[in-house]
Amino acid sequence: MVSGRAERAMIPIDNSIAGRVADIHALLPDTELKIVGEHFLRIRFDLLGIPGTALSQVREVHSHIHALGQCRRLIRDHGLVPVIAGDTAGSAREVAEWNDPTKASLAPPAAAELYGLEVLATEVEDDPTNTTRFVILADEDTFPARDQLPEQVVTSFVFQVRNVPAALYKALGGFATNGVNMTRLESYMVGGQFAATKFMVDVEGHPEDTALRHAFDELAFFTEDVRMLGVYAAHPFRAHVPAGHGRR
């Protein structure tokens, strides 16, 4: 996208079981790309092996680190050795190439047909509500105005608090007093320095809304830096998430 060869990109950012996708917190603030949308996808994994393999023969399971983390029950119950791969589909391709009945892949169902593998176990994810949130990125100059978006809007941003007592408490206070719902708050270290902490945040509302505008005004008093990442329509999935979704 940065080179102009693509107009949109979609990257995973959170999973209801495994949590934050590693390194995304570092990628988003350092790019000029903006978040222009989001998508929630129900994630399903099958255990795939070479044709003729019995589950009892499998010793190693290969997949992306997040897929392995989302299927821990299967790994534990069958005494499998988890091996990290670059991605789920890539692990299926490698299992097919190795042609070794002791190696299997955790991958989406379509990978079985794509690489000629046999399904040894279906829907092996730990939680039947296993869902990943993706954000859609685009090279946009500005954020959409309030009248260009529907009623339900998400605003994403990153901020760094001043190094003073109770700075985070005071920085977040404006969202509470103005009735702004914060749906995501995650901290991460800047350049490995424990004293330099940034926070990635999602809130409901548009910066032009009175409540959110006032909250940002208060935030400015207690922060050294605020970086807007995106203003975009909330995905319909948000309206139908049951209480405790993804919790165990």
DSSP code string of 151-195: SSEEEEEEEEE-SSTTHHHHHHHHHHHTTPPEEEEEEEEETTEEE
Residue 97 lies in a domain: yes
More confident residue, 191 or 244: 191
φ, ψ of residue 186 in degrees (nearest 5): -135, 140
Among residues 131, 161, 110, the alpha carbon closest in space to that of 13 is found at 131
Domain span at residue 54 reads: 46-121
Q: What is the mean pLDDT of residues 200-222?
A: 96
Edge-to-edge strands, sheet with 60-63:
81-84, 60-63, 103-107, 46-49, 118-121
The reported pLDDT for the residue numbered 31 is: 81
Assess whether 52 and 37 both reside in one domain. no
- Is the four-CA dihedral 247, 212, 30, 150 of positive or negative sign? positive
Assess whether 140 and 212 both reside in one domain. yes
pLDDT averaged over the chain? 90
Assess whether 219 and 140 both reside in one domain. yes
Does the structure show a pLDDT above 50 at 223?
yes
For the chain, how big is the Rg over CA atoms in Å? 21
Q: Write the pLDDT tens digit of every residue in 50-66.
A: 999 999 999 999 999 98
Residue 113 lies in a domain: yes
Among residues 100, 106, 51, 98, the alpha carbon closest in space to that of 78 is found at 106
Assess whether 136 and 219 both reside in one domain. yes
Assess whether 89 and 149 both reside in one domain. no
Residue 91 lies in a domain: yes
Split at pLDDT 50, 70, 90, the class of 1 is confident
Assess whether 37 and 140 both reside in one domain. yes
Q: Write the pLDDT tens digit of every residue in 159-209.
A: 998 878 888 899 999 999 999 999 999 888 766 666 668 899 999 999 999
Assess whether 70 and 175 both reside in one domain. no
Does the structure show a pLDDT above 80 at 43?
yes
Residue 3 lies in a domain: no
Q: What is the CATH number of the domain that holds 147?
A: 3.30.70.260
Assess whether 186 and 135 both reside in one domain. yes
Distance CA 170, CA 210 (A): 19
φ, ψ of residue 35 in degrees (nearest 5): -75, 125
The domain tally of the chain equals 2
Residue 89 lies in a domain: yes
Does the structure show a pLDDT above 50 at 248?
no
Q: What is the CATH number of the domain that holds 84?
A: 3.40.190.10
Instruction: Pick the last residue of a domain from 121, 141, 169.
Output: 121
pLDDT above 70 coverage of the chain, percent: 93
Assess whether 189 and 88 both reside in one domain. no
Assess whether 115 and 37 both reside in one domain. no
More confident residue, 204 or 30: 204
The reported pLDDT for the residue numbered 246 is: 44
Assess whether 23 and 144 both reside in one domain. yes
Distance CA 50, CA 111 (A): 12
Instruction: Find the Cα–Cα–Cα–Cα dihedral 228, 231, 235, 239, rounded to 10°.
Output: 90
Does the structure show a pLDDT above 60 at 120?
yes
Assess whether 165 and 179 both reside in one domain. yes
